[in-house]
Structure 1
Amino acid sequence: MGSDDLQNETVIGSVNTFGNETTVHGVRYMIARGHFLFRLCWLAIIVLAFVLFVIQAFNVYGDYASSPYSTKIDIVQQTFKAFPAVTVCNANRIRRSMLYDTNYEGLIDIDDNNRSESEVEDGEAERSEDIWRKVNGLYDWWGFYSASVADDFSDLINVVNPSQEQLMGYGHQLEKFLIQCTYDQQPCNMSSDFRVWQSRYYGNCFTFNFGMMETAEAITTSKTGALNGLHLTLWVEEDEYMGLLSPSRGAKVTIHPQNTLPFPEDEGINVGTGMATSIGIREEVIERISGMTNCVEEDGAGTNFTVTRTNTIYTVAYCLKLCFQQSLINICGCVDGILLDYTHCDVLNSTQRACVSMVHQLYINNGVCTVIAHSHARKGTSRKQYHL
C-alpha cells in the first residue's frame, strides 16, 4: 500500500470518527454508513442550514452597521438646574449716528428720503432692470436702492455688510441697551455676566450666562416662576434705527444652552417695545447613542467642523453654517458672512454672485454638506434644547 493510499484512509477514518462522535445534529447521519439517498438528504439539510445561518449573520451585521436607534423619553423633575444662556440683540443692526463720515453715510439720506420726486420716479423705473447692473461701486447706496427688486428692500440686507470690527463700533452698546438687569431678585454684574459678540444681522448681541467666561461661573437656579429668573429692561434707542435695514422695532431674544453660539435670525423670538414679555421654558436633553458620525465634509477628507472656532461647544446648526461658508471658499473663493475671516464675496461681481447662488441652491438640495445634514455628536455626548 502506497503512502498516498495510507494518507487517504487516515483522512477518511478521521472524518468517519468525527461523524460518529460529534454532537452536531445531522453531521453524524450524513457521514455514517447508510443508504446513499438518506445521507444525501442530510447533506442537503446541513447545507441549507448553513446558508440560512450566513444570511442571518449578514442581516444582523447589516442592521448593526446601520446604527439603529430607539427613543426613550423620561420626564425628570429636578429642583436644581443650570440656568440657560440668554442672548438679547437689538433689532437694529447699526446706529445711524455712527454712520456719518463713513462709507455708509449714504444710507442715512435714503432713510430720510432726501431725494426729489423725479429721482424717486427714476429709481422706481430702474428696479425693472437687471439687479445691481447700474450700481456704481460698493457704496453707491442710491444705486442699490434704485435697483432693489424687493418691495420691502430686504435684498439690501445682504448688500450692507460691515466687518465684525465695524459692527462692534456701529452697533448698540450694552451700557445703553440694557438699563436694568436682575437675576433671582439680585442685580446683575454688567461687566462679568454678559458676553458681547457680533451677529451679521443684528450687530452687537449680549449673552447672559454664556458659561465659558473667566470672569464669571455658569449660573444655576432652583427657583421658578415670574418673580424669579432673569429680568431685563431694554432701551432700543429708536432714534438710532435705520428703517431701511430694520423695519421692526424691538429686540431679538434667544434662549440656548451654555457655551453654544446662538443664531438669533433662526432661533430668536421677537420682543416688541412698550410692553412686558414673559418667557417660560422647558428643557429637553438628548443623549446620543454610538455609531453616529462627526461633523465633517462630505468627502470625509476635508475640514473637520466638530471643534468650533469661537471657543464654543459643538452644535449641528453652527457646524452646518461653517460648512456652508467653507463650501463658498472652496467653490467661489469668498464668504458672505462673518463666521470665517476670509475675503467677502463682491455683490457687484456677477460671477461671484452667481457662484454664491449656485452653492446656496446646492446646499438646499443637499448637494453640499449632505453628511453634515444627518450628523450628530459623538458617543457619550448630550445636547440640550429649550422649548418655550
Structure 2
Amino acid sequence: MPIEIVCKIKFAEEDAKPKEKEAGDEQSLLGAAQGAAAPRDLATFASTSTLHGLGRACGPGPHGLRRTLWALALLTSLAAFLYQAAGLARGYLTRPHLVAMDPAAPAPVAGFPAVTLCNINRFRHSALSDADIFHLANLTGLPPKDRDGHRAAGLRYPEPDMVDILNRTGHQLADMLKSCNFSGHHCSASNFSVVYTRYGKCYTFNADPRSSLPSRAGGMGSGLEIMLDIQQEEYLPIWRETNETSFEAGIRVQIHSQEEPPYIHQLGFGVSPGFQTFVSCQEQRLTYLPQPWGNCRAESELREPELQGYSAYSVSACRLRCEKEAVLQRCHCRMVHMPGNETICPPNIYIECADHTLGPCCLPFPTSPSASSCLCPLFSSLSWLLPSQSLPGGFFLGVEP
C-alpha cells in the first residue's frame, strides 16, 4: 500500500528581516563608495588632482599670499600653454613645408643659351639723313632748330617709319664684329638674329630654340668668343640725356634662354670698350611647391597664359605685354620692340607719350592711382641663368657655358 509523505516548511517574518537588512547595508556601502569617488566641490577636486599647482591654488585651507602666488603661476602657465597651442595650430593650418635642395641630382643636358648684344648708341651719326634728324630731333636730344633749319625750302619729308629708321641707322653687326668663335669653330654675323629692344637694333646669337647649339663642356674654349668694335666715332653728339640716349659708351649684354625674349634694359649688364670681359654662366633649375603651399602655379597650368607674339610664357614676355598694353591704351600705338600688329609709334610720340608711360607703368604694386599694375605669375618649375663677369683687360667678349 503506497504511502505519500508531504513536508511543508514555513519561515517566520523574523527570519526574513535579517536578509533585507543585509541587502540594504550592501546598497549603502556602494553609495558611499560612489559618493567618495565624485568630489562635491572644487577644493576637494583640487586636493585630489594630479595637476601640479592646482591643489596649492584651489585646495582647502586659508586664503593668503602663498595661495595667490600659486594661482597666478597656474594661470600664467595655462595662458602660455594655450598661446603655444594656438600658434602650433595656426602653423599647421598654413601647410608648412621644408625646402630640400639636392645639388647632386642629375639634370638634363643644357644647350648653349642665347646671347643678345646691343650697342648703347641707338643711331649712327653718319647714317642719319636730313629727314631723320628732323624727325628725331627731340628723341635724340640734338640741339633744337626750326623747321627750315633741317630741310630745304619747299621740301616735304615723308612720314617717319621707326622700324626703317632703327634698321637703317642702327649699328650693323657686320661692321662691329671683328672676330667670332664658338667652341673652336668660326662664326659670323649670319649666325646672329636681329631683335629690337629699348636699345634699338640688337643681335642675338643662338636665338632659334629649334636649332639650339649644344654646350659640350665648360671653360673658355667651349663658349662664345667675339671681338667687337663699338664704333664710338659714330656716336651721336649728346647735348642732353634722354630716355632714348645716354652719355655711356659700350655694349649691353643679356644671357637668356631661347624661349625668353630679351629684357636687356633691366636684366642686361654693360661691357666697357677697351676691356677683355669674361662671362661665365650657370643654369639653376628650381622647383617650387604650388598652391596652397606657395604662390606659384603648378606645371599643369603652364600653358594657361597665352601671350600674343610669344611661343612660350616667361616673366620677361609678360612684362613686355604689360608695357605694350599700357602704351597702347594711352598712346594708341606700340613701340618697335613690343610684339603685335598695331601701329608703330612715330618718333614724336616716343618722347611725348610712350617714354613717360613706361616710367610708372607695370609695377607689381602701383605707386599712384594712375599707374597700372603688372602681375606676372611664377610657375613651380623655373630655370635661371646666373652670369658672372670679370674684367682682366683686353678687347673681346668671351661667354662661357
What is the SS of the residue equivalent to 2:280? coil
Identify if the C-alpha distance between structure 1 residues 364 and 243 changes in structure 2 by more than 3 Å, giving closer, same or farther. farther
The equivalent of 1:268 in structure 2 is 268
Superposition TM-score, scaled by structure 2 size? 0.55
Question: SS in structure 2 opposite 1:280?
Answer: strand
Q: Is the 8 A contact 1:163 1:338 kept in 2?
A: no
Contact 2:132–2:165 under 8 Å retained in 1: no
CA–CA distance in structure 1, aligned partners of residues 117 and 311 of structure 2: 18
Secondary structure of the corresponding residue to residue 132 of structure 2: coil
For the Cα contact (< 8 Å) 2:122–2:201, is it kept in 1? Answer: yes
Deviation per residue, 1:173-205 (Å, 9 max, x gap): 1211212111111112542x321111232x221
Give the C-alpha shift of residue 81 in structure 1: 3.0
Kindly tell me: are residues 334 and 175 of structure 1, through their superposed partners in 2, closer, same or farther at Cα, counting changes over 3 Å? closer
Q: What is the number of equivalent residue pairs in this alignment?
A: 278
Report the CA distance shift for 1:110/1:163 in structure 2 as closer, same or farther (over 3 A): closer
The worse-fitting range, judged by mean Cα deviation, of 220-229 and 90-99 is 220-229
Please tell me whether residue 204 in structure 1 is matched to residue 233 in structure 2: no
SS of structure 2 residue aligned to 1:222: coil
Partner of 1:327: 326
CA contact (8 A) 2:124 2:171 kept: yes
Letter in 2 for 1:74: D
Report the 3-state secondary structure (helix = DSSP H, G, I; strand = E; otherwise coil) of the residue aligned with 1:339: coil
**Structure 1 range deviating more: 304-313 or 221-230:** 304-313
What letter is aligned with 2:100? K
Matches within 5 A, 1:68-83: 71-76=99-104, 80-83=109-112
Return the index of the structure with the highest Cα Rg.
2
Counterpart AA for 2:223: G
In 2, are the aligned partners of 1:284 and 1:387 still within 8 Å (CA)? no
Q: Residue 325 of structure 1 contacts residue 337 of structure 1 at CA under 8 Å; is this kept in 2?
A: no
Give the Å deviation of 1:275: 1.9
User: Quick one: structure 1 residues 336 and 305, their matched pair in 2 at CA, closer, same or farther if it must change by over 3 Å?
Assistant: farther
The match for 2:345 is 344
CA distance in 2, matches of 1:350, 1:236: 29
Q: Which residue of 2 aligns with 1:148?
A: none
Q: Distance in 1 between matches of 2:290 and 2:219?
A: 38
Counterpart AA for 2:230: V
Matches within 5 A, 1:240-251: 240-244=234-238, 245-251=245-251
Structure 2: stretches of 5+ with no match in the other structure: 1-85, 151-159, 239-244, 298-302, 389-401
Q: 1:208 to 1:337 in 2, by over 3 A?
A: closer
Counterpart-to-counterpart distance in 2, 1:271 and 1:250: 6
Check the 8 A contact 1:96/1:108 in 2, yes or no. Answer: no
Conservation of the 8 A alpha-carbon contact between 1:168 and 1:198:
no
1:348 Cα deviation from its structure 2 partner? 9.7
Q: Distance in 2 between matches of 1:351 and 1:108?
A: 16
Q: 1:210 to 1:101 in 2, by over 3 A?
A: same
Q: Distance in 2 between matches of 1:321 and 1:329?
A: 12
Q: Any unmatched runs of 5+ in structure 1?
A: 1-54, 116-122, 124-134, 142-160, 295-303
